[in-house]
Structure 1
């Protein structure tokens, strides 16, 4: 398979135009059409539905596009390894949305400053999708919470261990954690959020049965609702950087205070190991007092 055909295909998808793709890859429009037909013939699929204008990707075509992206990324990785320099090229990182609040952007910025020849691409998704994409090689690494079903061919290394807080509107000042949980409407994380099971387990241990009035899937949504006086909740320390958090009552959640861990998953072995180790170090540093340095290899 000619990688020039794959680059042409991605240019068509990016620009949604055969003619603009031709300008990007510096060939004629007819050459672009020939490359697409040759690729379709080689794979035995129809990539574009030509009855529409501009031509639209077929379902098989969308799969070919993902394959092309993966193959070209792997080619770039191989060139990086063979050149003898591991701190250049492209690093494709995935993350759950809540982890992207503060630590991740800071670490990526520091990574770019430290290694200007390295490009970092970020994709956001849920934890299960991220684990699958790391395992399949579509991501180099991903930021996810602990207590997930980690597959044998990948590893999870924590870089952040932060405390959880019970938060409530300012009017609750002076109340105990047990009375707040017993008397106030409770905003819960959705079940698919890994943090939810950690919080639920501690609530059960405490014998608390709060009055759940809503289930939300993001820290920002919960913080907004508590700030507006809708109810109370339990959040990780990172949430206290959200607007309005300084006015809320916050009490340690659990005895001793419960902490959650966030870590980096990657494949083992990986030809991006040096880069990923550096990124883990920056994530730990960017986590401040709650950062966890990796064990030496």
Structure 2
């Protein structure tokens, strides 16, 4: 298997027929057929449904197509790095649904100035799925919380370490964190993410019994409910509006609890410099809670 065969496979998928792909890769249609036949011999399975005209990729062919695109992209990046060319290509970024995701667009805009030839593509999903996609090479990196299962072949480094706070409407001014949580209706963060488990674990450790009025699965919605005066909640400091309607906050936890958000990526990558710059830009955008790479 060589890159010429993989380029031909991609060309067929993009242009629909062997003859159009031949024009794209500057080969004759018979040479394209020979390359595909050799590729099928090497992988040991047919890659096309040949009972149709024109032939179409079967399931095995579609699987190889995805891998071929990744391999060809990596080859181009490595060649560019060796030749000292400007960084090009696409940086595929995964991110969980977190209040910290608001930092990402601002960091990407900043990176565009330094890497004008790079395309950025964002995917939002669950931590477990994103980590699997990084491991498989479908994503270059993923922004996930601490305490998730990161395989040993990947690395995770925090760019944000911020405190959790009890947030309550302005009429709760002067109340302690415990009083806010026990005397006011409680808005519980209910989601299958590490942050929710971190909050519930500390509440249990402190033996704080709340009067739940709602269970909400996004931090942004929790904050909106607090602003409206519905009750108190526990949220990351970054989620508390710094202007507009006033919210009273108190540190949560004894000692105060912090959560960390970081980047998981493969240990070695041709895009390492680009990802390092993204990490440090995210740390800058995070303000006093940012954790830049040394």
Conserved 8 A contact 1:166-1:232: yes
Distance 1:197 1:154, change over 3 A: same
What does residue 10 of structure 2 align with? 7
Taking the aligned partners of 2:272 and 2:214, their CA distance within structure 1 comes to 42
**Superposition pairs of residues 156-171 of structure 1, within 5 angstroms:** 156-171=156-171
Alignment CA distance shift 1:99-1:169 (3 Å) = closer
Q: Give the deviation of 1:149 after TM superposition.
A: 2.0
Task: Tell me what 1:288 maps to.
Answer: 287
Deviation, structure 1 residue 236: 0.8
Classify the secondary structure of the residue corresponding to 1:246: coil
Superposed CA RMSD: 3.7
1:92-111 equivalent positions in 2, closer than 5 A: 92-98=92-98, 101-111=101-111
**1 CA distance for matches of 2:213 and 2:79?**
54
Q: How does 1:127-206 map to 2 (within 5 A)?
A: 127-183=127-183, 184-190=185-191, 192-206=192-206
Distance 1:292 1:61, change over 3 A: same
Shift of 1:181: 1.6
In 2, the alpha carbon distance for the partners of 1:103 and 1:48 equals 46
What secondary structure does 1:101 align onto? helix
Deviations 1:250-275 (A, max 9, x none): 22212332221111111113332222
The number of residue pairs the alignment matches comes to: 282
The 8 Å contact of residues 48 and 61 in structure 1, kept in 2 or not, is answered as: no
- CA drift at 1:108: 0.8
Distance 2:76 2:12 in 1: 17
Larger radius of gyration: 2
What CA deviation, in whole Å up to 9, does each residue of 1:179-216 have, x standing for no partner? 222241332231x2111122122212211122345443
Displacement of 1:235: 0.9
CA distance in 1, matches of 2:196, 2:252: 13
Question: Is 1:63 matched up with 2:63?
Answer: yes
Output the TM-score relative to the length of structure 2: 0.78
8 Å Cα contact 1:103-1:286 kept in structure 2: yes
Aligned to 2:226: 226
Where 1:162 maps in the other structure, the secondary structure is strand
Conserved? CA contact 1:87–1:274, under 8 Å? no
